[in-house]
Amino acid sequence: MASATVARKSQTFVAPSAAPAAPATEATLELSAIDRVPGLRHTVRSLHVFRRDKDAAGARPPAEVIRAALSRALVDYRPFAGRFVGSVAAAEACVACTDDGAWFVEAVADCSLDDVNGLDYPLMVREEDLLPSPEEGVDPTSIPFMMQVTEFACGGFVVGLVAVHTLADGLGAAQFINAIAEFARGLDKPTVEPVWARALIPNPPKLPPGPPPSFKSFGFQYFATDVTSDRVAHVKAEYFQATGQYCSAFDVAIAKVWQARTRAVKYSPEAEVHVCFFANTRHLLTPMLPKEGGFYGNCFYPVTVTATAGDVAAAGLLDVIKMIRDGKSRLPMEFAKWASGDVKVDPYELTFEHNVLFVSDWTRLGFFEVDYGWGKPSNIIPFNYADYMAVAVLGAPPVPKKGTRIMTQCVEEKHLMDFKDEMKTFF
């Protein structure tokens, strides 16, 4: 195993490269009802590996190019250079466009990407060395956006991103990163014009808060596996043949994880088990949001599918996929009821219990399309894990492999072998 050393060369705040176009943009901006969900005031961390095509983007160092592009992108996305003000708990949080800047770190590694297996799992470089962190004593959730570019001896580089979920969901964050990449490639303006428009998001009456969530540590273990495109296509074809309806790779993958976990843990048959995923709702707000897109705030709804452990464990995989599909079909109705205030329990107040599996899909957000001038990423490693949550993350295996990578942290050590055995039946 290579011994890799990462040295940080510089770290500083990067401000917008130009003054705001109008005094009005200097205002404090109100966040939406979804942005202000207390559970979103956390950081989302990820590593993005670029193998660097030697014939692309000239001789300028990636960190220099990306830093200048970040500064230019912040002109159009000023809230990412601002600071949060007000109380999230009191639903008063806003963003002050202070132009204090995004935190940017430039670093170098003394090895090639091949020396560390392209940062495939298990990581041969500590994630903490490749992710930006603020100066000592600074709360990372007070800075909307942080970025670190680590250049490797081979010419490749890794971009470490840390973003506060309060300001943008996955689609919105990827839109911002793609704007940075477009400026890095020399474009004069971003392809997608950013839209703030938080006032267009429904703002139903605030419900009385429920009991505080439990943050019990479960000791869940990490396990990742790759599923071939052919295998997923085979299951999708089986589902269509049985039902006459289509399903997605997402439906197939999370149905398998949910069932494998339920079987491995051996919940009592009558116990309820849940799977929760966060569905984009931009298409449900087309009368309000601009038709050309560009909205980068939080615009999702937590969809929860519930069944008894006995039903999930005993069912065929196609039946579990249908449970997921039925849950997705309820999205328009459930989102409309929440938007009109016709709910008694806030769906955005999540419960972190052992029997709830949370799923995050990184395959369709736009991060795999980012190109700073040296080609698209060869690998993306998200860190969507907390010890009080059972989590499954869908991504892609490193290039040139094809298929779906399922990254989980959802069972304890005592259930891990059974879980792995259940997942193996997928292949």
What is the Cα–Cα distance from 119 to 377, expressed in whole angstroms?
A: 12
Residue ranges in 266-424 assigned as alpha helix (H): 309-314, 317-329, 331-339, 413-424
Please report, for residues 71, 72, 100, 132, the alpha-carbon distance to residue 12 in angstroms, rounded to integers and kept in the order given: 12, 16, 11, 11
Per-residue burial over 246-260, b = 16 or more CB atoms within 10 Å of its CB, e = otherwise? ebbbbbbbbbbbbbb
Q: Do the Cβ atoms of 221 and 409 come closer than 8 Å?
A: yes
Question: Which amino acid is present at 105?
Answer: V
Tokens read off for 101: 């800047």
User: Catalytic residue at 371?
Assistant: yes
User: How far is Cα 362 from Cα 384, in angstroms, rounded to an integer?
Assistant: 10
DSSP β-bridge partners for residue 48 = 159, 380
Q: Six-digit token pair at 152?
A: 């490797």
Choosing from 226, 319, 371, 418, which is the catalytic residue?
A: 371
Instruction: Give me the count of residues in the chain.
Output: 427
Instruction: Pull the structure tokens for residue 159.
Output: 């971009």
CA 31 to CA 199: how far, in whole Å? 8
What Cα–Cα distance (Å) separates residue 3 from each residue in 107, 126, 127, 159? 16, 11, 14, 20
For residue 206, give the DSSP letter.
P
**Contacts of residue 292, Cβ cutoff 8 Å, sequence gap at least 6:** 193
Task: Name, in order, each residue with C-beta under 8 angstroms of 410's C-beta and a sequence gap of 6 or more.
Answer: 220, 257, 261, 357, 390, 391, 392, 419
Helices 229-243 and 317-329 cross at an angle (nearest 10°) of 80
Q: Which of 165, 354, 361, 415 is catalytic?
A: 165
DSSP 364-383: TSSGGG--SSS-S-SEEEEE
Q: How far apart are CA 335 and CA 327, in angstroms?
A: 12
Q: Which residues are part of the catalytic machinery?
A: 165, 371
